[in-house]
Amino acid sequence: MGGFVSTYLAQAGAAARTAFADRTNFALQSLGMIVNDGFVLVLWFMFFAGFRSVGGWRLADVTLLMGLMMTIFGTAGMLFGGYRDMAATILRGELEALLTQPKPVLARLLARESIASAWGDALLGVVLLVGAAGIEPARAPLVLLAIVCGLTIHLSASVAFASLAFWIAGARSFSRDLTDFTLLFCTYPGSIFTGAAKLITYTVLPAGFVVMVPVQLIHAPSWRTAAIMLGSTAAYVAIAWAAFSIGLSRYRRGNTPTA
């Protein structure tokens, strides 16, 4: 674990310096994401101006959900941006160079990029959580727990999606689609999902565990909800680690499809 962390920190530092190298481009992408997120928020504010709630979800709940979503996905792009195109990296055979080094491969893959627009996403998310979600200061530890667990689940699911590239040649677009659909599901109140959609939201596309359960944990803390949050985090980490490890073993044997 120590090697994983040290390798990640060194790689992430280099990725951040690269992102900041072109300051104009960095500022434009970050500002563009803030404007994009702002339009989404305006639509929700307009909606709740006419309707008091959606299945029990009020404006404060959706504001908290959006703040968590932006912070989680923004932090993922800032600090672990390599996850977004990991499937393409695998299919292009770029793991060859990484395998020649005595360093954790997954840490280097995750930290190889810092996405400029994600910084704007994370900034607006923090502003929402601090200034607009109506969270009491005493619940700050719950918010931090929710962000850490949601971020871990999101990254774990994305790594599992990307690991499909060890078996499927068309996994680049498929894995990106799955990640994007998870993001899309995270932007809606959990009460609108029923039946098969709700099952998908809490399994294949874990938006339920990324933001919906965290909202419940913050607004109505309970040991049961905390156990569900922590248990789901451990489960998705185990799935991602197994998928990547098994896939990497196939890659070493030369059984991986190419782009």
φ and ψ at 54, to 5 degrees? Answer: -125, 105
Q: Please state the domain count of the chain.
A: 1
Residue span of the structural domain in which 242 resides: 2-252
Q: Is residue 49 assigned to a domain?
A: yes
User: pLDDT-derived band of residue 55, with 50, 70 and 90 as boundaries?
Assistant: confident
pLDDT of amino acid 95:
86
How much is the pTM?
0.91
Around 228, how many Cα atoms within 13 Å sit in the side-chain half-sphere?
Answer: 17
Tell me the three state secondary structure of residue 95: helix
Looking at every residue in the chain, the average pLDDT score rounds to 88
Question: Which contiguous run of DSSP H or E holds residue 140?
Answer: helix 140-162
Q: Is residue 257 assigned to a domain?
A: no
Q: Is residue 259 assigned to a domain?
A: no
Note whether 84 and 179 are within 8 A (CB): yes
Q: Is residue 258 assigned to a domain?
A: no
Q: Is residue 235 assigned to a domain?
A: yes
Q: Tens digit of pLDDT for each residue in 128-186?
A: 988 876 777 888 899 999 999 999 999 999 999 999 999 988 888 999 999 999 999 99
Note whether 5 and 12 are within 8 A (CB): no
Query: How far is the C-alpha of 221 from the C-alpha of 112, rounded, in Å?
Result: 36
